[in-house]
Chain A
Amino acid sequence: AQRVTQPEKLLSVFKGAPVELKCNYSYSGSPELFWYVQYSRQRLQLLLRHISRESIKGFTADLNKGETSFHLKKPFAQEEDSAMYYCASTFSGGYNKLIFGAGTRLAVHP
């Protein structure tokens, strides 16, 4: 089955510490991977997508097809990074529906 796995429900770090939010996918084809962020009381926002290979707000993510992973990283966490982060993937077939992982709450402490 097509699945996106985020093993950590909560990641708690101190300001300035490195952050890595893990994401693995299960799909034998060529998925498109995304990271979405949801700040408190706000709607989901696209953070980045693997095809863009860009860095947004200091976050980067590299698609590793061998490990079927798309981990989100930031070298120095900021308090304003505290939010829910969802890894998501589109799978071919039909209308490229977006499937979400369970989400990881990042809490950055001062």
Chain B
Amino acid sequence: GAVVSQHPSRVICKSGTSVKIECRSLDFQATTMFWYRQFPKKSLMLMATSNEGSKATYEQGVEKDKFLINHASLTLSTLTVTSAHPEDSSFYICSARSSGGSGNTIYFGEGSWLTVV
């Protein structure tokens, strides 16, 4: 099946710095990618919808200036956490929509653990 890859899988950064997480669709083109945040033992919270070549659509309560999303190509979306704080520490998951094959299917990356110290 289709593969979505995230990098890095784990990252530790200092408070106040910025960190970038990449999400790639390896064998399909994804016009739409989604970014989620998952707190321990909680569900996935949709942060934003990323569309290739246009601005991301953020969910209510998500700071777009803090969580910068770029979807520059059909296979890559990036999430940059700017001026990170310890409360930004979380598991970030991306997913990508494939429009081929059996219809619209959403595939998930393996997730990225962010720890802000």
Contact = CB atoms under 8 A, between A and B. Distances in A.
Interface of A: 36, 42-46, 51-52, 86, 94-103
Contacts of A51: 103
Contacts of A97: 34, 46, 49
Contacts of B34: 97-98
Contacts of A46: 105-107
Interface in B45-98: 46, 49, 51, 57, 93, 95, 97
A36 to B, nearest CB: 8
Contact of A103 (B43, B95, B102, B107): B43
Interface stretch (B11-19, B20-28, B108-116): B108-116
A95 B32 contact: yes
A59 B108 CA distance: 21
Contacts of B32: 95-96
Contacts of A44: 44, 93, 95, 108
A95 B44 CA distance: 18
Contact of A95 (B42, B51, B105, B111): B51
